[in-house]
Structure 1
Amino acid sequence: MKRYAGYVFDLDGTLYLGDHAIPGAPETLAELRRRGARIAFLSNKPIEPAASYAAKLNRLGIQAAVEEVINSSIVMARYLSRTAPGARVYLIGEEPLAEELRKRGIRIVADPLDCEYVVVSWDRQFTYQKLNDALQAIRNGARFIATHPDRTCPVPGGEVADVGGMIGAVEGVTGKKVELITGKPSPITVQEAMNLLGLPPDQCIMVGDRLETDMRMGREAGMATALVLTGVTRREQVESSPWKPDYVLESVRGLIG
């Protein structure tokens, strides 16, 4: 297949599943680096800091510097620090996202009536109290934004519920649609990836396992797109999708075939 100057890789379902690298992923990444390609690792998953994802990749035999990793926590924190410095946030999300927000001067508040934004993310301790707090905050005028839209996350043997459930719950009780999602497929995330690579989109390829996030983002940004079948998407789903990839690969190994 065609060679590209920059490769943007999703993580879960693309380079690894659980604690195991996708067969051929370490060798593929090593070959792309040997060819001089620039690499970015881009995940919507906000439940670990970038350093943890970089460490995991290296542990699995995939060379990765922490500076090459962007996840939805980083994108959200950078977005708010640019557009609403020092904003007060009621957070439905986990500590790694909270820490990323605090690092950039965003204040996490416990009182839903004392926030400017309700930020919804993947929260494995999601409760009725958090849902009701979000309702009161949004009724009080807080803006409703989210890190990413994924309904599920691939894991060995299947999928687990992701932030889509929390967004749906808040939308259900408030009657309001989420105002902004900063993670994939948002152009906000595209810009973060292009800034990291130092390349325009038309010199890059987005490699991932999701049609509605990875392939949609790549196509809308003007990147080439490669769907891998090692995650949540099956080949038969491609035909009915509005976001058809340029390449459909059994795995990332096909990038150097």
Structure 2
Amino acid sequence: GKRTVFLSNNPTHTRQESAAKLTKLGLPTAVGDILNSSMVMVDFLKRHLPTARLFVIGEQPLYNDLRDAGFKFAGSFSEIDAVIASFDRTFTYAKLQIAFDAIRHGARFFATNGDRFCPVPGGGQPDAAAIIAAIEACTNTRCEAIVGKPSTYMMDAVMSLLRLSPGRCLMTGDRLETDVQMGLNAGMATALALTGATKLAEAETSPIKPTYIIQDLGELVDW
């Protein structure tokens, strides 16, 4: 058998929750085989700003991961060293104001992921890209690093976990601009699954070209 590692840009679920969900769906999954953008953000901050006081625009699992890693959260904008933007369904003008004031006061600006929307049954929800854009627009700055797919930060974390050369890996997912692009950037074979965010017509006209296009992940079983 081949090892399977699951990568997620969604920081609203813990790795434990994701592993439990996959196991319930019939894919027995260990927590160590889950890599999400929260985990990569923790590693990024430990490497670059280990003592930073944070202001997080995100949901509770991201807060928990950062807190458990030892990071502190600032009480006022003048104490904030870094603003962390993420998928946040409780985003408010008040949060935007704090981010604005902090960045204007010299805080750094990073994000977990740059997805435009998150697919949900019946449609989608605006994702972290909308929050990043709002902060960039009012502060006239650019987000310094987005650590999720397709970034090199996420890829480096994957390769460290797998300890394999990219040529021995297959990256599969349902998004061209994140899943497929990251695999291509790393020199992996890629398989676009037509089960979620991308339709066949989009794949055929996109400049991002996967190695394979599959209807669903079941096609990989016999590979």
> TM class, shorter-chain normalised?
over 0.9
Q: Deviations over 1:188-238 (max 9, x none)?
A: 101111122121211111110001111111100111110000001011112
Structure 2 runs not aligned, ≥5 long: none
Q: Say if 1:205 and 1:225, in contact at 8 Å, map to a contact too.
A: yes
1:226 to 191, 198, 202: 191
Q: What is the 5 A alignment of 1:81-120?
A: 81-120=46-85
Q: Judge conservation of contact 1:88–1:115 (CA < 8 Å) in 2.
A: yes
Aligned match of 2:143 in 162, 175, 178?
A: 178
Matches within 5 A, 1:77-156: 77-156=42-121
Give every structure 1 segment of 4 or more consecutive aligned residues whose post-TM-superposition deviation is greater than 4 Å. Answer: none
Report the CA distance between 1:256 and its aligned residue.
2.7
Larger mean CA deviation between 240-249 and 62-71 belongs to 240-249
Normalising by structure 1, what TM-score? 0.84
Secondary structure of the residue that 2:10 maps to in structure 1? coil
2:27 counterpart of 1:62: yes
Alignment match, 2:221: 256
Asked if 1:168 corresponds to 2:115, the answer is no
- Aligned with residue 40 of structure 2, among 72, 75, 88: 75
SS in structure 1 of the partner of residue 6 of structure 2: strand
AA aligned to 1:87 is A
Q: Contact conserved, 1:78 with 1:104, CA < 8 A, in 2?
A: no
1:87–1:107 contact (8 Å) kept in structure 2: yes
Q: What CA distance in whole angstroms lies between the structure 2 residues aligned with 1:113 and 1:236? A: 49
Match for residue 157 of structure 2 among 186, 192, 202: 192
Whole-Å Cα distance in 2 between the matches of residues 103 and 178 of structure 1?
24
**Shift in Å, 1:109:** 1.6
SS in 2 for 1:90: strand
SS at structure 1 position matched to 2:213: strand
Say if 1:72 and 1:148, in contact at 8 Å, map to a contact too.
yes
Higher RCO (CA < 8 A, seq sep 6+): 1
Q: Work out the number of aligned pairs and report it.
A: 222
Aligned partner (choices 179, 192, 198) of residue 214 of structure 1: 179
**Alpha-carbon separation, structure 2, partners of 1:187 and 1:242:** 20
- Show structure 1 runs of 5+ residues with no match: 1-35
